[in-house]
Amino acid sequence: MQQVDESGASHRSGPFADDKNRAEKSPPTSIQPNVIPINGHQTKIERHPAPPADLGPGLTTPKADAGESQEPKGGSPEVARGVYSQREAFLAKREAEGELTFRYVENDGTPDNNMWLISLKNTISKQLPNMPKEYIARLVMDRRHRSCAIVAKSGTVLGGITYRPFHAQGFGEIAFCAVTAMEQVKGFGTRLMNHTKTYARERDHLTHFLTYADNNAVGYFAKQGFTKEITLERKRWVGWIKDYDGGTLMECVINPKLPYTDFPTLVERQREALDRHIRTLSRSHVVHPGLTSFAADSHHHLSVSSIPGVKEAGWEPSEDSAPAYRLSIERVMLPPTPENLQTLMQAAWQALLAHEDSWPFREPVDPEDVPDYYDVITDPVDLSLIKKRLDSKTYYVTLNIFAADVNRMCANARVYNNAETIYFKLANRVEDFFEEYLHLHLVYEGK
């Protein structure tokens, strides 16, 4: 059974469980059963929780794998690829430059394989101090096991995955997964698993991986494509691997076509193809020159249809886009043209100015009288400012903008003053008067 901490570290714990946990069904006699002492008859090893400041009792795959779903800051094309693709591309570059190799290793008696297996065994033993070295050596050096080892240019083994392939059954069971502490937080865990899947598919002709995971392991294996749903036929695996109490059996289906070691290129090509297709249906990629209508001393009303690219994007004027109301000015119903709106807003301003409760709002607040007013109110509005904006005939291009200024003027008074003050109450009265004025002079369609 795999025990994996939150960072993705895995180590064996199940092999020392009691014999009574073995699956009841025996493997077919026509095929050599799994007699490797994965079940074992040794006493259980006490399992110690990982210390908070450490990655756990064993060597782990990188902590960073847990956060691969997060996007990094920045806007460069490389950063936009995402954390996963960046790490994969970085390690692939190191492979291309000869700094790293991912070796398929088996105990075939050759000097190189023997050297790498012994080094891998030492690495696993160092990271799994609670597990007997003899047991680790037996599994790693077993001729029926295969390993994928990360080998540095210097010949040092930085980590690896050991698994037992059941060729006739078409699946493999993962025994160990470890990465040296010096190479954590770099994406080695995911890269190692991707190479392992490739070797298992191409060299061992496997279609599935199975492994038992405890609660700490489930998250790591899920990120590597393992699921709790077992699709492999039961007759192909029951009796071949051991059942473990408290463990979760997980499966990874090895896709026959996916380029596991070249995911960044695959994703990049898919994104490029999708972008090309979108460009045939949309013009959202076209960048137009900036508008000059809002430059200093050149304010004027701008129609939506005159903005470059709007019509090309599919926008069309419709009756729904026009204001659904008419103006009542001197008892005459008029359309809401810019000229008529200007007339109505001027009349509304005059009515506000003449209202008996508007006296606090006719001029700006004097900072000599109220020193901290402009520290509290950062967007001050008064009737004199509204008048200046009205007279410009370019500021209030819609009635909504005019109404927003009046409402903000009243809201500022409520923000600065206590609810029991006269200013708070006058603000409410002026706002109510303004709303009633608009109600009397606007007639909405269909009403």
In order of 35, 102, 142, 202, 400, the CA distances from 209 in angstroms are 19, 19, 19, 14, 64
* 3 state SS of 17: coil
| Beta strand ranges found along 254-381 (DSSP E) | 325-329, 332-334
| Beta strand ranges found along 306-434 (DSSP E) | 325-329, 332-334
- Cβ–Cβ < 8 Å for 136, 121: yes
Q: Using CA atoms, how far apart are residues 12 and 415, in angstroms rounded to an integer?
A: 64
- Cβ–Cβ < 8 Å for 123, 158: yes
- Cβ–Cβ < 8 Å for 392, 346: no
* 3 state SS of 413: helix
- Cβ–Cβ < 8 Å for 328, 440: yes
- Cβ–Cβ < 8 Å for 327, 446: no
Task: Pinpoint the alpha helices (H) of 97-210.
Answer: 111-127, 133-141, 188-202
Q: Using CA atoms, how far apart are residues 231 and 251, in angstroms rounded to an integer?
A: 8
The catalytic residue positions are 173
Amino acid, single-letter form, for residue 293:
S
Contacts of 384 (CB under 8 A, 6+ apart): 362, 363, 364
The CB-side HSE value for 395 (13 A sphere, CA atoms) comes to: 13
